[in-house]
Amino acid sequence: LFIMYTHELQEVVEKHGLKIHLFAGDTQIYASFTLDTYNTVLSTLQNCMHDIKHWMKLNYLKLNAGKTEVLILHHKADKSPNPANIILEPDEDPIVPSCEAGIKSTVSARNLGTWFDPTLTMSSNISKIVQGCNIEL
């Protein structure tokens, strides 16, 4: 049933040339880009999020902006724009209600119990594990 219900969502994302991964109640959208295509990919992601919000409205669902994150992975020597300053602004489409605060970039995101940081050093994951161990001690 889940696969039948989310198949349309997969089509919405793939229409924009982005990749999607669905796992239980989590959905991940991802794309590969270079510094030259950085702005184009962000624009594509914004358009895709608009279409996702529209699909959700048609299916009586609501996008929870508080649980939606954007994590930009890059090489640690890469001098690309600071992902903390990138905000996918909510659109002002009267048909599709916008998210209250937009979708902000994050410096770490959790995926199946593991915390990832932008350069994949796993420092966020290690910090969270050590923090949890210290609480238990």
User: How confident is the model over 73-116, as pLDDT tens digits?
Assistant: 877 777 666 554 455 555 555 544 445 456 777 788 888 888 88
Closest CA to 112 of 23, 2, 21: 23
A 10 A CB-CB count for 109 gives 17
Mean pLDDT of 20-48: 85
What pTM was computed for the model?
A: 0.74
Mean pLDDT of 121-135: 87
**Cα–Cα distance measured from residue 133 to residue 137, given in angstroms and rounded to the nearest whole number:** 6
Helix (H) or strand (E) holding 21: strand 19-23
| Residue 119 in tokens | 């350069």
A 10 A CB-CB count for 54 gives 15
The per-residue pLDDT of the chain, averaged, comes to: 79
